[in-house]
Amino acid sequence: MNNLIVPVITIDGPSGAGKGTVSQILSEKLGWNLLDSGSLYRIVAYAILKNHINLDDQVCIEQLIKSIDITYNVTESSTEVLLDDKNITNYLRDEKIGETASVIAANEIVRGYLIQKQKDFAKPPGLIADGRDMGTVIFPNALLKIFLDASPEERARRRTKQLQDKGLDVNIDEILANIIDRDQRDRNRSISPLVPADNAIVIDSTNLSINDVVSYILESYALLRK
């Protein structure tokens, strides 16, 4: 089936807004495929860091991209990302990798390499696409576009709790500073900046539960089907 007629719901927004959790639940409830686009950027970031490549070295980055093999195993509820046939999904949530992924997301070479890989996720019966430019660049004709936001302070609180629950010793002030810095970088980059699509529904999740957000999106989807 042509991916243009596969229903797609895009979930865009900044780090810590709840995109990943919301997208996972939507994927499970609808029985649709799930794309965590950030994982693809993180795996490139992982490869760059592993090979000790300077982020300003365009030649080496291009050579690296041409030499690595990124594949993915997609089920109805999860996405495994593989680098040269090695599953490194569990290593991709490191803060350093996240910061590096945000930087290379503005790299035209990297973006060009990953665009088609992301589009290939659109397969029956449907796709939940979680990212930062899903509705503006990757799936501009998506059935439903959501832009999920929250205050930097709330996002820092959520991220701190998430890391503490994993037994990590973290500083909320440092996490907040990183979030603000990443927001500025993502929103102000010249290539595919983080902005809501023109026809996106913007949801501020600062004072909403995950279930509230999921219910609202499912209701919006149901209205489109009538």
Write the secondary structure of 85-135 as one string of H (helix), E (strand) and C (coil).
Answer: CEECHHHCCCHHHHHHHHHHCCCHHHHHHHHHHHHCCCCCCCEEEEECCHH
Beta strand pairing status for 79-83 and 70-74? antiparallel
The full set of domains in the chain, from first to last, is 7-221 (3.40.50.300)
Distance CA 37, CA 222 (A): 25
Distance CA 123, CA 34 (A): 10
Distance CA 32, CA 27 (A): 5
Distance CA 95, CA 112 (A): 24
Q: Quick one: DSSP state of residue 192?
A: S
pLDDT at residue number 143: 96
Residues present in the chain in total: 226
pLDDT at residue number 1: 41
Contact of 96 with 174, CB cutoff 8 Å: no
Establish whether 15 is an annotated binding residue: yes
- Per-residue model confidence as pLDDT tens for the chain (226 residues): 444 589 999 999 998 899 999 999 999 999 999 998 888 899 999 999 999 999 999 999 999 998 998 887 765 556 677 899 888 888 887 878 988 998 898 898 998 889 988 999 999 999 999 999 999 999 999 999 999 999 999 999 999 998 899 888 999 999 999 999 989 988 988 888 899 999 999 999 999 999 999 999 999 999 998 7
Establish whether 16 is an annotated binding residue: yes
Establish whether 135 is an annotated binding residue: no
Establish whether 196 is an annotated binding residue: no
Contact of 141 with 134, CB cutoff 8 Å: no
Establish whether 13 is an annotated binding residue: yes
Residue 86 corresponds to which tokens in the numbers above? 């090695």
Contact of 83 with 73, CB cutoff 8 Å: no
Establish whether 98 is an annotated binding residue: no
Establish whether 18 is an annotated binding residue: yes
Distance CA 68, CA 83 (A): 7
Establish whether 124 is an annotated binding residue: no
Residue 163 corresponds to which tokens in the numbers above? 């890391």
